[in-house]
Amino acid sequence: MGALMVIFSLQKDQRRKRTDSVEDELELSAVRHRPEGLEQLEALTRFNRKELQILYRGFKNECPSGVVNEDTFKDIYSQFFPQGDASKYAHFLFNAFDTNKDGSVSFEDFVMGLSILLRGSVQEKLNWAFNLYDINKDGYITKEEMLDIMKAIYDMMGKCTYPLVKDDTPRQHVELFFQKMDKNKDGVVTIDEFIDCCQNDENIMRSMQLFENVI
Amino acid sequence: MAAGVAAWLPFARAAAIGWMPVATRPMPVPPREKKKSQDQGLLVLNVSGQKFQTWSNTLERYPDTLLGSTERDFFFHEETNEYFFDRDPDIFRHILNFYRTGKLHYPRQECIAAYDEELSFFGIIPEIIGDCCYEEYKDRRRENQERLQDDEDDEKEDVAPLNMTFREYMWRAFENPHTSTTALVLYYVTGFFIAISVMANVVETVPCGTLPNRAKEISCGDRYALAFFCLDTACVMIFTVEYLLRLIAAPSRYNFMKSVMSIIDVVAIMPYYIGLVMTDNDQVSGAFVTLRVFRVFRIFKFSRHSAGLRILGYTLKSCASELGFLLFSLTMAIIIFATVMFYAEKGSTSSKFTSIPAAFWYTIVTMTTLGYGDMVPKTIVGKIFGSICSLSGVLVIALPVPVIVSNFSRIYHQSQRAEKRRAQKACKEAGQLLVGKPNIPFESHHHHLLHCLEKTTNHEFIDEQTFETNCMEVTMVNKSGSRTSSMSGSSSPHGLSSCCSRRHRRKSFSLPNSNNQELSTIQIRERPIVNSRSSLNAKPDFETVPLKSGHSYVTSSVVTLPPAASSLLTSSDNGGSSSSTCNYSQSNIVRVSAL
């Protein structure tokens, strides 16, 4: 019995040593990313110098290595939605920000995305939204893609809601969306249908202007 | 997180644009940004000659502290255009780091009193010390307080209050022997008699030579029976008097009688009195003899005289579970080997292993490597298993004991720490709530964001308790669907149907101002996010203030969806939500009035 206990504790030490070495390896290869110069970013985005400085300082504080990977991204985004599970929506957001699909969001990606969202024209914003919904980036939003997005949004609400989110609430919402957006009733929403429809909808137009003064 | 989630709020709000095309009803108006007249700039803080510089934003994250509020203006030095503080720069470094990182650390080499002083000077409450240093801080603080308390107590003891009653005086004398000479005398006398009594009990049983007319040796106790009896009586007298005096002097008699020491006292003197009462009745004399065993408990009275004994007792009490485990594993091993030995030795003649319980003795003696030799196996199989038994005895006993000892020490310290942490946690959370004076712009923006999400999905956040009650209501009512449809049918298309007891305030849109293009700096103030769901909904009061400041109210159209899933629309500000969620059975339908 004593032998068993000793053996067990020895094994634990070994396991710990092994994981330590793996972690060490990971740390050595951690990316340290430096963003492009301030002038270049100024040219690429619609932020001025001061705004970029403030944005970068906040970004660097959270992610000292200069890039955000998906897990950190999900963590940060989830902190704003304590009642629900924001990880799925954060996943879609991450894909939308990560334009070069390298699995991490650098400061350039981040600030270019923000530039579109906050300072872009309505067309650009709608484009961005379409891009977000179109998960496989094939130019069409299918009902399945929309359902995924919808479920992700409803997940952020969590379970303590009034009225209760039923299982088919996302699906019904998707039906509504398609009824509104899909003009030719072919089961997918193309970018033109999407933009057309949004531009004709007062509410959506108004809400697009909502966050202009965020920075 | 470092600068806090507040730094990413703009991003989260921008990302909310992703919900807009999906939403079917309009979004609430965002809260007004407070116009900041000054740009963020560098401040110089000169602390006793050491210069620290930081952004003014950083300091303003905590408006409740000296540096974050206008109180620092009192320390502004015009000639050098800096803020001068005549305080310790080493400790100030930590305080400034708190503003930068949101975590307050406690440096181990600093004196706790000096650190506390600095914290109180700068208006920072210690409860926000980060988890990494909080324990250390609390330990040091407690030690310091105990030291102060001990000093005080010592002083108090030396300086006797003048108007003590005789009872208090006696109690004090009993508990603190060094207070007065009588106390000291009592202390030594009782100690002496305890020792005498114990020694008498011991010597009583020593064989003392033979009487001339008997062949057998008799013990000293029987030989000098009278002397021992007198000695015993004297000791018991002293002990009884002492016990009664303590009982009289005790401030709380009930507590005194419950305490361990008084029980030991009682158990120590009881056998004598029982012996007095009982005569030489043969039936009970056997029981009486066993009672005398209890006289040895007098030795425990020494624990009043020795702190070490008390600590030992406490230690044993606290590692009882570990000892229990050791005992349990030993018992298992003993039973296994005893069984094996019994069956192995069953065959041999005149075997001492008459039963398994008889084999227990052999197993215990062998496993603890005592090896008395009164029971030995005779068959070959028995010898084989006997040797396995003794080898495994070495392993089973010798190895776990150090493991258990170190385990015990670790677990003991850990449980102390865990208990301390639990006790501290409650204080900490109370403190966090105090210091987490909400960062108003951040809070209002965060709430606006959550509100947008609610509008997008047509559902509302409620806290857990109301959720539970709602669930129960739903199951009781059993037809929530029919309820809502009936409600929506009955609500009038004009005006709003208000809730039973309160009016829900309307959320209003204001035209988005286009003159906010200039950089209005975001005052990023941080607040430790309290991760409780209900708190999120319970913060409305702060939001109403900025929203109500000087807007022209414009009621807007709120389109109700065709029947289906969400025909319930309640527009209310969050002030209503947290407390009146149970009243959410309204549908408020408002028509458009001119924009």
| A 173-202: CB under 8 A from B | 173, 176-177, 181, 194, 198
The alpha-carbon gap from A213 to the nearest alpha carbon of chain B, in Å, equals 6
Give this prediction's pTM.
Answer: 0.47
Tell me where in chain B the CATH 1.20.120.350 domain(s) lie: 166-305
Q: Do B329 and A1 touch (CB under 8 A)?
A: yes
The CB-based long-range contact list for B129-134 (8 Å cut-off, 24+ gap) reads B129/B104, B129/B105, B130/B103, B130/B104, B130/B105, B132/B103, B132/B105, B133/B104, B133/B105, B133/B106, B134/B106, B134/B424, B134/B428
Q: Flag whether residue A30 sits within 8 Å of chain B, measured between CB atoms.
A: no
Q: What is the pLDDT of residues A108-117, one digit of tens each?
A: 888 888 888 8
Q: Are A159 and B462 in contact (CB under 8 A)?
A: no
HSE-up of A105 (CA within 13 Å, CB side)?
27
Chain A residue nearest residue B584, CA to CA: A162
The more confidently predicted of residues B358 and B305 is: B358
The domain made up of B42-156 is a member of CATH 3.40.630.10: no
Put simply, the answer to whether A163 touches B459 (Cβ < 8 Å) is: yes
- Report the complex ipTM: 0.76
Closest-CA distance of chain B to residue A185, Å? 18
Average pLDDT (B83-87) is: 89
Distance from B73 to chain A by nearest Cα, in Å? Answer: 26
Q: B525-571: per-residue pLDDT in tens?
A: 333 333 334 333 433 333 333 333 333 333 333 333 333 333 333 33
Interfacial A residues in 83-102 facing B (CB < 8 Å):
83, 89, 92-93, 96
Q: Which CATH architecture has domain B166-305?
A: Up-down Bundle (1.20)
Residue in chain A lying closest to B17 (CA): A208
Instruction: Write down the pLDDT at residue B387.
Output: 93
Higher pLDDT, B506 or A71: A71
User: Does the beta carbon of A80 lie under 8 angstroms from any beta carbon of chain B?
Assistant: yes
The pLDDT of residue B336 = 93
Q: Tell me which residue in B25, B395, B564 faces A203 most closely, judged by beta carbons.
A: B25
Measured between beta carbons, the chain B residues lying within 8 angstroms of A177 are 21-22
Specify the pLDDT at position B474: 65
Instruction: Please write the tens of the pLDDT for every residue from B413-428.
Output: 655 665 566 677 677 7
With CB atoms and an 8 Å threshold, state whether A129 touches B18: yes
The better pLDDT of the pair B527, B267 is held by B267
Q: Where in chain B is the domain with CATH 3.30.710.10?
A: 42-156
Give the pLDDT of residue A72. Answer: 85
Q: Does A123 touch chain B (CB under 8 A)?
A: no
The hierarchical CATH code for the domain B312-428 is 1.10.287.70
Region of B244 on the Ramachandran plot (φ > 0 left; ψ -120 to 50 alpha; else beta): alpha
Interface contact B5-A79, CB threshold 8 A: yes
Q: How many CB pairs under 8 A join A and B?
A: 211
Q: Per-residue pLDDT tens for A150-180?
A: 888 888 888 888 788 888 888 888 888 888 8
Residues of B in contact with A94 (CB under 8 A): none
Contact A81, B447 (CB under 8 A): no
Please give the DSSP secondary-structure letter assigned to residue B398.
Answer: I
- Which regions of chain B carry the CATH code 1.10.287.70? 312-428
Q: How confident is the model at residue B364 (pLDDT cuts 50, 70, 90)?
A: very high
| pLDDT over 70 percentage in chain B | 66
* Whole-angstrom distance, CA of residue A35 vs CA of residue A65: 11
B228 is written with which tokens?
């021992």
A79: closest chain B residue by CA:
B5
